[in-house]
Amino acid sequence: MSFMKKSPWIIHYDGSSCNGCDIEVLACLTPLYDVERFGIVNTGNPKHADIFVVTGSVNAQNVPVIRQIYSQMPEPKAVVAVGICANSGGVFRECYNVIGGVDKAIPVDVYVPGCAARPEAIIDGIVRALDILEEKRAKLKSGKVEELEEQDGLPPEPFANKEGTP
Ligand code: SF4
């Protein structure tokens, strides 16, 4: 793992989940796993966040919210999709208004599998995201802003040509 000069702050958003993965994300903050001992802090403000942790699938209701949170985060930033629902839509994939995983709405850097994803896997994914943050920070410092913008740019709005649900 890269050496971090700053404690990474995370923001967590629950899309269309069963809350199973959310409970596991919370478990990471309990004394048993205690990610705060690594300096990882859970924040509610996207402007203070380095890592965006998303659980659950993406639907017409939450696409604008996910994109707004992501857009408010400063560079460098990384996104971790936690659980199969966030990875691909999972058990909600065939729902009438679900368009799939988080990467349909924003760029995803790390995919954490599992249903529910285990706390060890979530922590592993966040550690991977720390390395990606360092890579992006190096790009910023070396002036590769366009490359970073391409990497972190928003995909087309999934419901741009539709009103409400598909
Ligand atoms: S991956 Fe499983 S546990 Fe996690 S939100 Fe989806 S259905 Fe629930």
Nearest to 4 by CA among 35, 33, 39: 39
Backbone angles phi, psi at 92, to 5 degrees: -95, 0
pTM: 0.91
Q: In angstroms, how far is the first alpha carbon of the chain from the final one?
A: 42
The CATH number of residue 64's host domain is 3.40.50.12280
Is the distance from the beta carbon of residue 107 to the nearest atom of ligand 1 less than 6 Å?
Answer: no
Angle at 111 between CA 108 and CA 76, to 5 degrees: 40
In-domain check, residue 161: no
Is the distance from the beta carbon of residue 18 to the nearest atom of ligand 1 less than 6 Å?
Answer: yes
How close is the Cα of 83 to the center of ligand 1, in Å? 6
In-domain check, residue 162: no
Specify the number of domains making up the chain: 1
Tell me which residue range forms the domain holding 25.
Answer: 4-151
How close is the Cα of 30 to the center of ligand 1, in Å? 20
How close is the Cα of 54 to the center of ligand 1, in Å? 12
Each residue's pLDDT, cut to its tens digit, for the chain (166 residues) gives: 555 667 889 999 999 889 999 999 999 999 999 988 888 889 999 999 999 999 999 998 899 999 999 999 999 999 999 999 999 999 998 888 898 899 999 999 999 999 999 999 999 999 999 999 999 999 888 888 888 888 888 888 876 654 545 4
In-domain check, residue 83: yes
